[in-house]
Amino acid sequence: MKKKLGIADIIYYSVLSIMALVILLPFIWLVSTSFDYFKSYTLPYPPRMLPKKLSTFNYEMALTNVPIVRYLFNTVIIAVLDVIFNVFIATLTGFCISKGKFPGKNLIMIFILSNMMVPFETKLMPMYQIIKKLGFSNQFMGVILPGVMTNAMFMFFVKKFCDDLPDDLYEAGVIDGASKFRIYAQLFLPLMQPIIATIVILDVVNVWNDLLWPMIVLNKSQNYTIQIGLVLYNASANGQVHAGIALALSILSVIPLAIVFIFVQKYIVQSIAFSGLKQ
């Protein structure tokens, strides 16, 4: 038997619907206007939710005049490598600090977390000097390594996640004679799927939206990321940026992020539900 909705439920769902509509409207307008054909450089005024003349002109011009595919390809490579390194280092570090029994592990965790208190701008020059001496200037690894080695937030996430997993799993692995790495890889890593999905989403968004560090490290156009490409398009037009093309570029730049979110969103919900597991 279906439960009848009361007045409170109707108000609740109505408010949620209105809030969702407020959030979606700007994106709907963005997509709609990107398919609208207009000759002027500025957006049509007053704004319209439906295209007056449906056209793919803006996307054709964006793909013709801007090497957006190359920028997207570079960013995807950086994001994939960054995620692989971050997931491996964060899960292994978080597991060791959570389940490992060795002196000073709390001090190590405090030292790792203290890195989050240091503003990125104060670390920028030392990191660049290190990357330059390592020979990673103008290479994808030069963009990836600083974020991987200084990202304490993901390590903390995994540590707290492993704290909620039963210690019996670790002890069972020790009794069976498994090595610590095997216990991590075969017992704990499969259970970390929800927190790994969270790390993937946060890391991909962070890499995709990063502009300052890639702009400092990369100086060849064939290695530029999507954010650098968008900035260059806006800067090279001498103030004469075609609004429709700019909107089309923005839509193309967020499509990969939307795909990633669609595939991993269910694991984020699992992470929230799984966090209540206790020994």
What distance in Å separates the CA atoms of residue 124 and residue 141, rounded to the nearest whole number? 16
Q: Which comes out higher in pLDDT, residue 272 or 112? A: 112
**Domains of the chain by residue range:** 7-61, 66-274
- Please, which pLDDT band fits residue 239 given cuts at 50, 70 and 90? low
* Distance of alpha carbon 23 from alpha carbon 71, whole angstroms: 28
What is the structure's pLDDT at 279? 41
Percent of the chain, pLDDT > 90? 14
Convert the pLDDT of each residue in 44-95 to its tens digit: 777 777 778 788 888 888 888 888 899 999 999 999 999 999 999 999 999 9
Q: What is the pLDDT of residue 84?
A: 93
End-to-end CA distance of the chain: 36
pLDDT, residue 89, reads 92
Query: What architecture is domain 66-274?
Result: Orthogonal Bundle (1.10)
* Full-model pTM: 0.83
* Whether the predicted pLDDT of 1 surpasses 80: no
Least-confidence region, from 126-140, 190-204, 239-253: 239-253
Helix axis angle for 243-274 and 7-34, nearest 10°, is 140
pLDDT band at 2 (very low <50, low <70, confident <90, very high): low
Q: What average pLDDT does the structure give for the chain?
A: 83
Distances in whole angstroms, Cα of residue 203 to Cα of each of 78, 110, 120, 260, 270 = 11, 22, 16, 11, 18
Average pLDDT, stretch 88-115? Answer: 86
